[in-house]
Every structure is written in C-alpha cells, then in structure tokens.
Amino acid sequence: MAGTTSTPRGLDGVVAAQTKLSHVDGQNGVLIIAGYELKELAGKVTFEEAAHLLWKGHLPSKEEAAALTHEIAELREIPATTLAVLRAAKNAPPIDALRMACATLSLDLKDPNDISPAADFQSAKMLVARFPTIVAAHTRLATGQEPIAPRKDLSLAANFLYMVNGTEPDPIGARALDTYWVVVMDHGMNASTFASRVIASTRSDMVSALTGGIGALKGPLHGGAPGPVLDMLLDIKTAENAEPWVRNELTAGRRIMGFGHRVYKVRDPRAEVLAKVADEMTHARLEDHSLFELARTVEGTVLRVLDEVKPGRNLKTNVEFYTALVLQSLGLKPTTFVALFACGRAAGWCAHVIEQHAEDHLIRPQSEYIGPKGLVVGK
C-alpha cells in the first residue's frame, strides 16, 4: 500500500556518495575540510591555497601556491558574450545574473565537453577566477557604472574589492573576504553540491554542473538569508529592545534569521570563525563597533529565548549571522551576499565535480509512487 514504507523525506540520513573533501559533524560542531578542521585553515591559508587542497588533496608548496595564484589571475577576464549577458541582466538579482553568466563560460573552452582530470582542473581554475569578476561587474552595472577590468597583481579577494570600488583594496578587508570564502568553500553533501554531483554523474561538463549548483543555492532554504540578519539588527536598534523583539517574532510564528541549521545541533563552527573576523576587522579599522556589540548581545538573547520557547530544538547560531556583519562591513549590499557565497562555494563544487567524474557512476535514486492506479480513460 502506498505510504507504508519509511522513505526518508529529502533523503534525510541517506548516504549518497563517499567523499574525501569535507565532513560535517553536526553534533559536535566540527567541519573538516580535506583532513583539516576549519579553524586550522580559515585565516591561515589563502582561498587559492585552500582551493588547491580540495582539488589536489594537499596544501600547496610555496611554488605550487604561487603558480596556482598566477594561473587564476590570468583567467579572471570574462568573455564579451558573458559581459553582454550581464548588461542584459543588470536589473536581475545578482545570483540570477551569476547563473546566467556562468552558463556562457564554456564558450571559450577548447572542448567544453572534455571531462578529463586535466580539463576539469583547468575549468575549475577558470570558474573560480571568473565568478568574482562576474559579481563585481554586475554590481557596478546595477548601479549605472561601467565594469572595471580585473588586475593580475592582486589576490582573488583583493581584486574583487578593486573591481567593485575602483580604488586600491583595503588589505584588512581583502583578508576578511578571503577568510570568508575559505569558510564557505565546502560543506558536505548540501543541496547545491548534490545538484552539481548529480549533473556531473551523467558525464556532463563542469560548467553545466556549476550552473545547476547556482540554481540550487538560490533557494532561500539553502543559500540562506544573511541580508535579513542586518534588517533584524537595524530593527532591534538597542540591546534593551532585543528580548521583547525576539519574543514578539516567535509569538507571531516568524523565524529568527541567523539561527538554526539542518545539520548543526550546536553553534555552527563557521559562525565561530566569522565572529572573530568581524570583531578583528571592526577593531583594526577603528570604525564604529556598535553594530558588532549589538549583534553579540542579540545573539545571546536569541539563544536564551529560543532555549526557553523551543526547548530541545537546539537552534544555535548559524553561518548567516556573522556573514551579514563581515560582508556589510566591506561596503557590500545584502543583495549580493548569496552570489558572494557562490564565489567561495565554487571551489568546493568544482572539487566535487572532479571527484564525481573520477567515480564515473550515474546517481539515479528511486522514488516511491503514491499516486492512483488503475484509472481508465473516459470513465
């Protein structure tokens, strides 16, 4: 009888693949990236070095790091067709513009359908190099400005800030963005990574796989809503308002942004790293620290009230909460936050595509039919 089997909703608890790339320990709040706990990488290696770790299985030597950084820098410029798409999509949300633009990036590949290890590695470098260029160009086009050509003498993060602002990038800001991208670069079998692997499992190419990954990331249940975290803090205004505001939201049945996670039952380790980044950044730049202090107070209040109102739910701080503080402190608009997330996650998507192509096995789960049977036409 339909419905009698215990099919897990959303494949909850089902192991869909074996991977050497990352492991999420939701019970203990630990994220392992290719053997390293996140705290061992974030702020200690560059995004390019962390990408090498995912793609090649080890952290690069100085020579390997320099070569990869140079190769990525050489690939940053986007094709004319891609720029034309961004001009046409200047009023679209940045994540939509990135999805549309990504699909054009196979146009200047020698063989877009080549999925050999060498071709995949080259595509990975190209995609990671061009995603920030796309987001920066769209950011300027959306505000009536002309895109700025990328520079090759800057790191990926520093060059992004240069292409957005047109001024020499702040080293502290560039380091914060670089750390953010390392923090979000891979996170187990999340929806966008799974989507990318399913596409790759058909022997489709990396550009197609990442285009699908962006489509999955766009959904608010996955890409999240770091922008509304800022709205929440601005709405609360003061520490004294935090508790009544939170209780009112919960009474109205609304979600508190930046809290709760599908996997983590303790504080998201990515939030731990980004909280330190936000704190260090605002102190080092001698800017108004009040928003960060308010965020800390709000975080403590929310956690206390959630434990009281929703006991046993283990709704703890997630990566969205401090993402909002880090990215807004760089002068970036909340509308760009999900696209910036994709710039970091692209390294992980590419690594999973490489791994899936090596596995060379079609992902084809079964479904449980629960519809009617025996219907006859005309009756």
Q: Is 261 a catalytic residue?
A: yes
Count how many Cα atoms sit within 13 Å of the Cα of residue 346 in the half-sphere of its side chain: 32
The answer to whether residues 174 and 195 touch, using CB atoms and an 8 Å cutoff, is no
Sign of CA dihedral 138, 139, 143, 144: negative
Query: H/E element holding 218?
Result: helix 206-218
Within 8 A by CB and 6+ apart from 148, the residues are: 136, 137, 140, 162, 163, 166
CA proximity to 199, closest of 175, 221, 216: 216
Q: Which is catalytic among the residues 49, 272, 299, 320? A: 320
Q: How far apart are CA 224 and CA 236, in angstroms?
A: 20
CA proximity to 344, closest of 36, 78, 98, 68: 98
Q: Apex CA 286: angle with CA 282 and CA 287, to 5°?
A: 65
Q: Which is catalytic among the residues 261, 272, 352, 355? A: 261
Name the residues annotated as catalytic. 261, 320
